[in-house]
Structure 1
Amino acid sequence: MTGTSPGTSTGYPQITIVEEGMREGMQIESASIGVHDKIELLDELSETGLRNIVVGSFVSPKWTPQMAEIDAIVSGFTPVPGVNYTALALNERGRERMRAYMPPLRELHPYPRTLVHVCDVFVRRNTNRSQQAEIEALPAVVQRAAEAGAAHAGIGVNAAWGSNWLGEFSLAQRMDLLRHQHRLWTGAGIGVREVFIGDPMGWNVPDRVAEQLRAIRAEWPEITRFHLHLHNTRGTAPISVYTALRTLDPECELVVDTTIGGMGGCPYCGNGRLTGMMPTEDLVDLLAELGIPTGVDLDRLIEVVVHAEQVIGRELYGHVSKAGPRPRGDRLYAMDMPFIETTAEAQHFRLGPEVYAGALAPWKEAITSPARDAVEQQRRGDAG
Structure 2
Amino acid sequence: MTRGKPSISIQEEGMREGMQIESADIPAAEKVRLLDALSKTGLKRIIVGAFVSPKWTPQMANVEEVIDGFTPEPGVQYTAIVLNPRGAERREAYAHKLTLPDPMLGRSKIHLCDVFVKRNINRSQQGEIDSVPRIVDAAKAAGVTRAEISVNAAWGSNWLGEFAEDERIRLLQLQYDAWTAAGIPVTRIHIGDPMSWNTPAAMRSMMRRVLATWPEVHDFHLHLHDARGMAMLSAYTAMQELDERHHILIDTAIGGMGGCPYCGNGRATRMIPTEDFAHLLESEGVPTGINLKALIEAGVIAEEVVGHELWSKVTAAGPRPTGHDVYAMDMPFVETFEEASHFRRDASVYAGALSPWRDPVTSAVRDEYEARFAAEEGESA
Q: Normalised by the size of structure 2, how large is the TM-score?
A: 0.97
1:108 offset after TM fit, Å? Answer: 5.0
Counting only pairs closer than 5 Å after superposition, residues 304-323 of structure 1 correspond to structure 2 as 304-323=298-317
Q: Which residue of 2 aligns with 1:116?
A: 110
Letter in 2 for 1:214: R
1:128 partnered with 2:122 = yes
Contact 2:3 2:243 in 1 (8 A): no
Amino acid at match of 1:116: I
| 1:150 Cα deviation from its structure 2 partner | 1.7
Aligned to 1:44, what secondary structure does the other structure show? helix
Shift of 1:73: 1.2
2: CA distance between counterparts of 1:44 and 1:158? 31
Whether contact under 8 Å (1:156, 1:195) holds in the other structure is yes
Equivalent position of 2:60 in the other structure: 67
Q: What are the Cα deviations for residues 251-294 of structure 1, in whole angstroms up to 9, with x where unaligned?
A: 11111000000001110010100000000000000001000010
Structure 1 residue 10: Cα displacement: 8.4
SS for the counterpart of 1:273 is: helix
CA distance in 2: counterparts of 1:179 and 1:22, whole angstroms: 33
Q: Report the Cα distance in structure 2 between the residues aligned to 1:200 and 1:260, rounded to whole angstroms.
A: 17
Separation (CA, whole Å) in 1 of partners of 2:335 and 2:256: 23
In structure 2, the residue matched to 1:17 is: 10
Task: Output one character per residue of 1:75-97: Cα deviation in whole Å (capped at 9) or x when no partner.
Answer: 22111110000111111221121
Query: How far does residue 245 in structure 1 lie from its aligned partner after superposition?
Result: 1.1
C-alpha distance after superposition, 1:44-98 (max 9, x if no partner)? 1111100000000010000000001111111221111100001111112211211
Query: How far has the Cα of 1:111 moved from its partner?
Result: 2.4
The counterpart of 2:96, out of the listed 103, 110, 118, is 103
Give the conservation status (yes or no) of the 8 Å contact 2:51–2:60. yes
Q: Which residue of 1 aligns with 2:177?
A: 183
> Residue 107 of structure 2 aligns to which amino acid in structure 1?
R
Q: CA deviation at 1:381?
A: 0.7
Question: What displacement does 1:185 show?
Answer: 0.4
1:265 pairs, out of 229, 252, 259, with: 259
Other-structure match for 2:78:
85
Q: Distance in 2 between matches of 1:103 and 1:148?
A: 23
Tell me if 1:36 matches 2:36. no
Q: Confirm whether residue 227 of structure 1 aligns to residue 221 of structure 2.
A: yes
Residue in 2 aligned with 1:6? Answer: none
- Return the alpha-carbon distance in structure 2 between the equivalents of residues 316 and 327 of structure 1: 22
Unpaired runs of at least 5, structure 2 = none
Q: Answer yes or no: is the 8 Å Cα contact 1:340–1:359 preserved in 2.
A: yes
Q: What letter corresponds to residue 235 of structure 2 in structure 1?
A: V
Contact 1:198/1:230 (8 A) holds in 2: yes
Q: How many angstroms apart in 2 are the aligned matches of 1:287 and 1:353?
A: 29
**Residue among 1, 19, 23 paired with 1:26:** 19
Where 2:67 maps in the other structure, the secondary structure is: helix
1:154-190 alpha-carbon deviations (Å, 9 max, x no partner): 0000000000000000111111100000011001100
Shift of 1:138: 1.4
Partner of 1:379: 373
**Amino-acid identity (%):** 55
Runs of 4+ with >3 A deviation: 107-110
May I ask how many residue pairs the two structures share in their alignment? 376
The answer to whether structure 1 residue 355 and structure 2 residue 349 are counterparts is yes
Contact 1:10/1:291, CA 8 A, preserved across alignment: no
- The one of 306, 325, 335 equivalent to 1:331 is 325
Among residues 206, 209, 213, which one is paired with 2:200 in the alignment?
Answer: 206
Measure how far apart 1:16 and its partner are.
0.6
Residue 289 of structure 2, aligned match among 295, 301, 315: 295
Q: Which residue identity lines up with residue 37 of structure 1 in the other structure? A: E
1:341 pairs, out of 335, 341, 355, with 335
Partner-residue secondary structure (3-state), 1:113: strand
Rounded Cα–Cα distance in structure 2 between residues aligned with 1:154 and 1:381: 51
Q: 3-state DSSP class of the match of 1:380?
A: helix
Amino acid at match of 1:53: I
